[in-house]
Amino acid sequence: MDIYRENVLDHYKNPRNFGNMDKPDAKFKDSNPLCGDEVEFYLKIDSGLIKDVKYHGQGCAISQASASILSEKLIGMKISDVMKLEKEDVTAWLGSELTPSRLKCALLPVMVAKAAINEFEKK
């Protein structure tokens, strides 16, 4: 097993920042109906920076590991930089190229985090 698969399995088995958050500044939930992956992100935002992150979800190892890794990356990040995240960023964090169906699993957390920020900015 290579180092990247070990990283994905570690985040899947030992998720970082998993749980709920009281009074988040932003939250959003979405799912991929084709595979059943579900992710909800909760964000604390102050002065354009993400100060704290929690997420909750269920699904395949790729989607849940991606959510865990993303939750670590988001803390301290400018919301404007979050909105610039692309699939190349996610595949770099996961450490491997993914099939198109697995890429949807990996990208779900990023789409949810961006949607949470969009909802926050509408307020």
Pairing of strands 49-58, 26-32: unpaired
- List the one residue out of 85, 49, 54, 88 whose CA is nearest residue 71: 54
What domain count does the chain have?
Answer: 1
Query: 98 or 121: which carries more pLDDT confidence?
Result: 121
- List the one residue out of 8, 28, 32, 24 whose CA is nearest residue 112: 28
Q: Taking residues 76-93, what's their average pLDDT?
A: 95
Determine the angle formed by the axes of helices 61-74 and 100-122, rounding to 10 degrees. Answer: 40
State which amino acid sits at residue 109: P
User: Model's pTM, two decimal places?
Assistant: 0.93
pLDDT band at residue 4 using 50, 70 and 90 as cut-offs: low
CATH number at residue 97: 3.90.1010.10
pLDDT for 87-99, tens place per residue? 999 999 988 778 8
Domain span at residue 44 reads 3-122
